[in-house]
Structure 1
C-alpha cells in the first residue's frame, strides 16, 4: 500500500499570503489526477463521512439513499449510483487515502467476485444463457429480469478493482512504476491545481506572470499532507481556485 503522507515544498508570497506553487513528486500528482476518476457519488460520500458537504449534492445523495425500493425501476439498483467505483485503481495504489472505512468495500482476501444470473447456472436444459455479469450483487439481469445473485470469482484480477488496459500498474512496461505519471520528473502544482513539469524556465515564467515586486517576500515552506488534508484538497477543489493556499497555508482542514 502506498504511503498515506506526502511532502510538498511550497513557494509562498508572504506579502499576499498566497501559495504561488508547490514542488511536487509523482505521488502527489498521481493523487490529484485520481480526483478526475472519482464518480460524483463517491466524492459526496467520502466528504460526507468527514462531516462536510458538497453543496446540495449531499441532499440529492441522501434522497436516493432513503428512497424506498418500491419506487425504483425493476431493472435498476440504486447501489450502482450510491457506490459507484472509480475506473482507476483504488487507494492501495495512491497516497493520501481518501477514506479509511467506506470509500470502497475493501477486503482482506485476494478474490474478487462478480455476480451472474441464476438462470445461467440452473436452466441449461432450456438453453437460457445469460452473458451478463455485475460487480454489484442482486443487480437485475437485463436478459432474465431476475437478481444476479450467483457469486463467481473473477480470474486474473486484483482484490477489489479493475484496471484499464492502458493503465500502468507497475507489473509491466519499461518503468515498472505504477500510478499515473512518471516519477523521474519534479512537477509544479499551481494554487488552482494546474500541473506542469517543473523547470527553470517555467519557474521564471511563473514569477513574471505574478508580476512580483518584492522577491524578498518569497519564502519556501515544506509541509506534510496526510489523509485529512487529502480530503480537504478534494473538497476545496470543488469550491475555489486557491486550493493550496486555503488548505496547506491557512490550514483549513
Structure 2
C-alpha cells in the first residue's frame, strides 16, 4: 500500500529555506520514530535506499557496519549473533511503530519459540530468538515450536496514534524542532520571523521515499526540511568533534565513570605525522564497537547528554523531552520510549561498557505466565558475540578486520611507511573514552583519532 501524507510548508523561496511546516500527529509520529531506530538499522536502511553507494557514509558508522558484514561467520558463536547486530530490533517500540503511517524500518512481527507441551499448569518456556530451537529445558523432550506473538500479529497502520494524540497538531522547524501548534505569535517568536512579504505557503506530499531522504538529511545537514522539500544545498553541521563532555556532571555520573570497566587498546601511530594508522584490539573492544549498532538513536543522544553533534537529531530529542508536553502525548510511556529507550533482551554482551538498559522479556499470553528462555547466542544468559580470543585490526574509521601481520606489512609498503616510523601507544578505554568514540563515530570518518588523540 503506497501511503502518502500531505501537509503545508511555509517557505522563503528567495532564501531557499523552509521556515516551518504544519503537520498532524501522524507526521509528527513518523519524525519522532527516528529516535527509536537502532544505529545499525539506520545504516542498513540508507545502504538499501542508495543501493550501496560507497560515496555515501555516515561518520564511521557505515564502515563499522560494512566491516561487521564482511567479517566471516566463524568469528561468532552463532549465526544469530551476527544477524542480531546487522538487523537489530527496536525493542518494545517495534509493536507500536508498526502502526506508523510511514515506517522506514522493515522489522518483521515479533516471533518466538514455545514448547508445544504445556510442561506446567502455570509456567511455560518461551524465547524471542530463532537460534533457540533446542529442546525445552522444562520437559527436556519437546523441541521448541515457532509461533507469532498474538499481540504483535496483523498490526497495520491506523489512526490510533503512536506517540502523540491524534487530535494534536504541530509545527516543525527546518532543523526538526517539533512544537505544539499553539498560536501564531508563539511560533513567530520562536522562529524570529518578522517580514512575511517573501513567505509563501506550498502543499507538500510525503511518501516513504521522502521520509528516508529526510532521515538521511537529518544526519548530515542542519537544514533537512529545506534539503528534502526545496532540494536545497546541504548546510553541513559545524561539528565540535572533541571528546565527550558531560554537560551536567554529577556525583552519580562521576561515580559511574570511575567504577566502569575498562579495556586495553594498542594504537599504532606514524611518528613523522602523528597520524593514527590502526588499532590492535581484542574481542572485548570489538564487541563494544559493534554494540553501537543496537543502540536506538534516542539512546545515543541520552548517553551523550543531548549533544550528539547531530543538530536535527538533538532537536528531535529536545522536542520529545521538553517541548511536547504530556497532554499532547498518547500516554505516559510514550516519552520514555523516545528519550530512554531500552535495548531488546539478549542484545547486550558481557563486554558492553556503556550504561544501557536491557528490556526484560515477559510475555503474558492466554492468561499464562511465561518464564524467559535465554537465547543460545548467550548460552549462560549473557555472554559474548565473538568466539574465542582473537586480535583484531580496527581502522581509524572503525572498520574491523582480523589482525594479520602480512596484510599490515603489505599496507605499510603500499603507503611507503617504514616500520621504523611507527610507535605504539597503549590506551585504556573507560566510560569517558567509550562515549567519546561513540560521539565521534556519528560525524567523523576518523573516529579513533578524534576520540583518543585529539
Q: One fold, TM greater than 0.5?
A: yes
Shift of 1:30: 0.8
Whole-angstrom CA distance in 2 between matches of 1:212 and 1:27: 26
Q: Does 1:187 align with 2:191?
A: no
Where structure 1 has 5 or more consecutive residues not aligned to the other structure, the ranges are 107-111, 162-168, 171-175
Structure 2 counterpart of 1:138: 131
Please list, as runs of the form range in 1=range in 2, the aligned pairs for 1:98-247 lying within 5 A after superposition.
Answer: 98=104, 103-105=106-108, 113-115=111-113, 131=125, 133-134=127-128, 136-138=129-131, 150-159=144-153, 177-200=160-183, 203-212=184-193, 214-247=195-228
Q: Is the 8 A contact 2:133 2:145 kept in 1?
A: no
Partner Cα separation in structure 1 for residue 99 and residue 124 of structure 2: 34
**Within 1, Cα distance between the matches of 2:75 and 2:174?**
44
- In the TM superposition, what is the alpha-carbon distance from 1:58 to its structure 2 partner? 2.1
Contact 1:91 1:98 in 2 (8 A): no
State the partner residue of 1:39: 38
Q: Which has the higher contact order (CA 8 A, sep 6+)?
A: 1
Q: Using the TM superposition, give the Cα deviation of residue 153 of structure 1 relative to its aligned residue in structure 2, in angstroms.
A: 2.0
- What is the CA–CA distance in structure 2 between the aligned matches of 1:217 and 1:21, rounded to whole Å? 14
The 2-side partners of 1:34 and 1:70 are apart by 35
Q: 2:99 maps to which residue?
A: 93
- CA displacement 1:136-189 (0-9 Å, x = unmatched): 311598x98xxxx8333255322278xxxxxxx98xxxxx82322112122111
Alignment partners' CA distance in 2, 1:19 and 1:84: 34
Q: Which residue of 2 aligns with 1:72?
A: 76
Match of 2:259 in 1: none
Q: Paired residue for 2:64?
A: 60
TM-aligned CA deviation for residue 59 of structure 1 = 1.9
Is the alpha carbon distance of 1:231 and 1:75 closer, same or farther for their aligned partners in structure 2, counting shifts above 3 Å? closer
By how many angstroms is 1:198 displaced?
Answer: 0.6
| TM-score of the superposed pair, with normalisation by structure 2 | 0.42
Could you tell me how far apart the structure 2 residues matched to 1:32 and 1:121 are? 41
Equivalent residues of 1:77, 1:140 under 8 A apart: no
Change in Cα spacing, 1:44 to 1:139, as seen in structure 2 (3 Å) is: farther
**Cα deviation, residue 239, structure 1:** 1.5
Q: Which runs of 4+ in 1 moved over 6 A?
A: none
Q: CA deviation at 1:55?
A: 3.3
Contact 1:4 1:97 in 2 (8 A): no
Q: Secondary structure at the match of 2:145?
A: strand
Does residue 14 (structure 1) correspond to residue 13 (structure 2)? The answer is yes
What are the ranges of 5 or more consecutive residues in structure 2 without an aligned counterpart?
Answer: 51-55, 138-142, 234-454
SS in 1 for 2:146: strand
CA distance in 2, matches of 1:238, 1:225: 19
Q: Rate the CA distance shift 1:206–1:73 in 2: closer, same or farther, 3 A.
A: same
Q: 1:12, CA displacement in angstroms?
A: 1.0
* CA–CA distance in structure 2, aligned partners of residues 121 and 23 of structure 1: 51
Q: Are the counterparts in 2 of residues 19 and 191 from structure 1 also a CA contact under 8 Å?
A: yes
Counterpart contact for 1:75–1:140, Cα < 8 Å: no
Q: State the TM-score, normalized to the length of structure 1.
A: 0.71
SS of 1:217's partner is coil
**How far has the Cα of 1:91 moved from its partner?**
6.1
Match of 1:109? none
